[in-house]
Amino acid sequence: MENTNVKILEKQPSTFCVTLPDDSDRIDCAWFNPIIGDKIEGLVNKNKTNRKNVKLGIIADVNGGKRLPKGTVIQEGEGADSVPYVRATDVKNLKINLENAVKIPKEIHKIIQNYQLKKEDLAITIVGTIGEVGILEEDAEVVDFTENIARIRVKDSSIMSRFLLYYLDSEYGKIQTEKFFVGSLQYKLSLQSCRNIEVYLPFDKNKFDIKKQRQILNTTDAIFKEAKSKFIKSKKLIEEAHIVIKNKINLSMPQASDKSETYIKNLDLILDGRLDALFNHPLRDKLLNILKKYPNKKLGDLVKFQDKNKIVPSDYYRLVELEQIDEETGRIVKYREVPELGSEKVLLKKGSILISKLQPEKGKIAIVSDEYDGCVGSSELIPIVLNSKEISLEYLWVVLRSDYILKQWEYQLTGSSRMRIGPNEIKNTIIPIPEKRVQGKIVKEVINKIKLIDITKKDAEELVKKAKQKFLNLLIS
């Protein structure tokens, strides 16, 4: 640790005070937390002859990505003239996920083409949710990446990228990123701090021991493989939950056609005032025609927007951001405590349904439960309140997460780099309304699927914990 006096108060072990060294410009608790410091120091001081401690910047090139030029149009579809652009949200579950990465035109790519990812590169998130790591497993001709992640490219052939990935995702990697990040409203981790992360590696005969790395990985990967099978099962259950409403309501969905096709009718332009090709896509017209043949109402006739309530000043606030809503199960999963808000927020009230304005077609829709009553939420969330006896709250939540609704929203997004939906589009969303008995069956089946998803994901997460602990045990033994 730094040359700092740390005193643990006897009656409050979780409280400590420090005397700052002359050369320190950090006064926050994360930097001087003795628990974090002791763990890092314990690792650094392990003087095993078959292990070596080295800074990440020595064994790998650590570089940032590039922000898109203002006004860049993001494309969701594939195309010969589009390039994947990896953002922090695409670094998840130890992978860099190209499947869900947004696409940018090749003309924009040429502007930022010096910021590329290639196979075996690692990425670590350095803004917002800090320290998520992933590896690019596939060959890809061109992959751009955002400034909110750092690219880690191993430059020593005797170090395996996947071994480094597991280390950075381990307790020792995580506590260091926790120590290094700064900020209150939005956490940040500098590139230099990434380079200063202490890495502990097998070492033999004056070089890094790649054979030992393989042995550790083989044992660890066997457990990860079992966890992966659980996650695949969970994914299948999620897909089954999404098609429950389609089976009960029995309405067909129009098949996808060429995304480059545009469809503009004079009547639509007069009534809706939207000139963009996405809004006037033929699939949107087909979907609306299908829904209008079934008993339905516009969402604005079933709900009202939650009243704006004044947020009472407090020493700290329980903040729910977009990334804290699980789009797979449609629930808030956690909040974080912040000392100040800094920008406009919404007050969360029990029984409201939250709809993400930002890319709502992804399914970030959740009911505010008792646990999150009184929290504050991102201004990207729109709280709505049920205002009709024709449907139940639970049915509304389920149907809003169905393809019938998410596809409507997909064709009504506006914006360039960050696609959003507006209040008018939300109010005009067509909601299919089956009889109450069918609504109850739909809700029951979806909730039962989610219970199975919870069990399966919990099993998978326990296996991941086991794999991580096995990796550490083999590394430090």
Question: How do the pLDDT tens digits run along the chain, 477 residues long?
Answer: 344 444 434 444 444 444 444 444 544 555 555 666 666 666 656 656 788 889 999 999 999 988 877 766 565 545 556 788 898 889 988 999 998 788 888 888 888 878 889 999 999 999 877 889 999 998 888 898 989 999 999 999 999 999 999 999 998 898 888 777 665 555 688 899 899 999 999 998 889 999 999 999 999 999 999 999 999 999 999 999 988 988 898 888 887 554 444 333 433 433 455 545 456 667 888 899 999 999 999 999 999 999 988 899 999 999 998 889 998 899 999 998 988 888 889 999 999 999 999 888 888 999 999 999 999 999 999 999 999 999 999 999 999 999 999 999 988 887 655 678 889 999 999 999 999 999 999 999 999 999 999 999 999 999 999 999 999 999 887
CA separation for the pair 263, 253 (Å, rounded): 18
Q: What is the pTM of this model?
A: 0.74
Which strand (E) or helix (H) includes residue 144? strand 144-145
Q: Give residue 119's pLDDT.
A: 94
Q: What is the DSSP string of 3-45?
A: S-EEEE-SS-TT-EEEE--TT----SHHHH-HHHHHHHHHHHT
- Between the CA atoms of 222, 226, 232 and 233, what dihedral angle is there, to the nearest 10 degrees? 170
User: Which CATH number, 1.25.40.420, 3.90.220.20, 3.40.640.10, 3.40.190.10, labels domain 57-201?
Assistant: 3.90.220.20
Q: Which amino acid does the sequence have at 306?
A: Q
260 burial class (0-12, 13-18, 19+ CB within 10 angstroms)?
A: exposed
What are the beta bridge partners of residue 16? Answer: 8
Would strands 198-204 and 207-208 be described as parallel, antiparallel, or unpaired? antiparallel
For 82-170, where are the alpha helices, taking DSSP H only? Answer: 106-111, 161-169
Residue 373: is it exposed, middle or buried by C-beta count within 10 angstroms (0-12/13-18/19+)? middle
Tell me: domain 238-445, CATH 3.90.220.20, correct?
yes
Contact call for residues 378 and 321 (beta carbons, < 8 A): yes
| Domain-wise residue ranges, the chain | 1-32, 57-201, 238-445
Answer for the pair 304, 387: CB distance below 8 angstroms, yes or no.
yes
Q: Which residues are CB-neighbours of 273 under 8 A, at least 6 positions away? A: none
- Residue 233 CB-half CA count within 13 A: 16
Q: Please state, as a whole number, how many other Cβ atoms lie within 10 Å of the Cβ of residue 187.
A: 19
The residue type at 160: M
CA distance 157 to 387: 63
Q: How far apart are CA 425 and CA 412, in angstroms?
A: 7
Spell out a b/e string for 129-161, using b for 16 or more CB atoms within 10 Å of the CB, else e: bbbbbbbbeeebeebbbbbbbbbbebeeebbbb
Read off the amino acid at residue 91.
Answer: V
Q: Do 238-445 and 57-201 fall under one CATH topology?
A: yes
pLDDT for the residue 416? 59
